[in-house]
C-alpha cells in the first residue's frame, strides 16, 4: 500500500510502497548481475539536450525500447500518474524517455536544477524512483533545497518515489567508501496538464 512520507503541495511528494517491491528487486538484481549493463543496448546513450552545459549529464542513460525492462518502466509510469491524479489532483503527462542513473563510491551530484525542464515551463515535474536502499552512513541521499535555510533530505530506499517541481534545486550526498553497492535510480520527466495541486 502506498504511503506518503512527505507531502508539500506544489513542491515535493515522497511516497513509499507505490509499486511491487519484488518486481523492483528483480530488476535491481538483473541490472547488477549484468556486469556491463550500463554499456549494453538496454540503455541508449544520452542525446544532446539544450541548456545542459554540465558534462555531468552526459552520464545519463535513457531507457531504450529494446530494454527487457521497458514494460515494467511503462507500468511504473502508469501507476505514478494514477496515484497523483487520484490522491493529489495532479494530471501528469510524460516528457521524453525515462533514464537511469547509477552512482558509486566517491560520486555525488552538486546542487542544480534540471534547466531543460525548468525553463520550458513552470508546470514541469521530475520523479526519482530508487531501486535500492542505501544504509545509514553509505551516502547517496537526495537533498531538496527549498530555500536558503530549508532542506528536505530523502534517503534512497527501494521502491521509494520522490516527485518534485522542476524548479527545485537538488543535490546528492557523496557515496561513502562504506557503501556496499551503487545507488541506482530511475528518472521520469513530466508536465502537469492542470498546473499544480
pLDDT value at position 91?
Answer: 94
pTM of the complete model: 0.84
Give Cβ neighbours of residue 20 (< 8 Å, ≥ 6 apart).
Answer: none
In this structure, the strands spanning 92-94 and 161-165 are: unpaired
Distance CA 193, CA 197 (A): 11
**CATH number of the domain encompassing residue 120:** 2.60.120.620
- Distance set, CA 196 to CA 67, 70, 118 (Å): 32, 28, 14
Q: What is the largest CA-CA distance in the chain?
A: 44
Contact 147, 141 (CB under 8 A): no
42 falls within a domain: yes
**Pair type for strands 161-165 and 151-154:** unpaired
Mean of pLDDT values over 7-16: 91
Among the residue ranges 1-15, 50-64, 82-96, the one predicted with the least confidence is: 50-64
User: Is residue 40 in some structural domain?
Assistant: yes
Q: How many CA atoms lie within 13 A of 66 on its CB side?
A: 6
- Has residue 106 got a pLDDT over 80? yes
Query: Domain tally for the chain?
Result: 1
Query: Which range has the worst mean pLDDT, 46-55, 135-144, 174-183?
Result: 46-55
| Three cell numbers written together for 78 | 502508469
Summarised one tens digit per residue, pLDDT across range 72-85 is 888 999 999 999 99
Asked if the model's pLDDT at residue 16 lies above 70, the reply is yes
CA 74 to chain centre: 14
* Percentage, residues of the chain above pLDDT 70: 75
With a pLDDT cut of 90, the percent of the chain lying above it is 47
Tell whether 197 is covered by a domain. Answer: no
Q: What is the mean pLDDT of the chain?
A: 81
pLDDT of residue 99: 80
Q: What number of other Cβ atoms are within 10 A of residue 186's Cβ? A: 22
Strand partners, 164: 12, 126
For 73, the domain range is 3-48+55-192
Q: Are 83 and 15 in contact (CB under 8 A)?
A: yes
Amino acid at each position: 500500500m502506498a504511503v506518503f512520507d512527505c507531502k508539500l503541495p506544489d513542491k515535493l511528494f515522497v511516497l513509499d510502497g507505490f509499486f511491487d517491491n519484488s518486481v523492483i528487486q528483480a530488476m535491481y538484481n538483473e541490472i547488477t548481475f549484468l556486469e556491463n549493463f550500463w554499456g549494453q543496448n538496454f540503455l541508449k546513450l544520452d542525446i544532446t539536450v539544450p541548456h545542459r552545459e554540465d558534462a555531468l549529464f552526459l552520464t545519463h542513460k535513457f531507457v531504450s525500447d529494446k530494454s527487457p525492462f521497458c514494460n515494467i518502466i511503462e507500468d511504473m509510469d502508469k501507476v505514478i500518474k494514477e496515484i497523483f491524479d487520484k490522491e493529489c489532483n495532479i494530471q501528469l503527462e510524460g516528457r521524453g524517455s525515462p533514464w537511469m542513473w547509477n552512482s558509486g563510491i566517491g560520486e555525488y551530484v552538486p546542487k542544480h536544477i534540471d534547466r531543460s525542464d525548468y525553463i520550458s515551463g513552470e508546470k514541469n515535474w521530475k520523479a526519482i524512483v530508487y531501486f535500492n536502499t542505501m544504509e545509514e552512513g553509505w551516502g547517496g541521499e537526495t537533498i531538496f533545497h527549498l530555500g536558503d535555510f530549508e532542506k528536505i533530505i530523502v534517503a534512497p530506499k527501494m521502491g521509494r518515489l520522490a516527485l518534485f517541481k522542476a524548479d527545485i534545486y537538488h543535490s546528492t550526498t557523496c557515496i561513502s567508501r562504506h557503501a556496499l553497492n551503487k545507488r541506482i535510480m530511475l528518472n521520469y520527466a513530466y508536465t502537469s496538464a492542470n498546473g499544480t495541486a
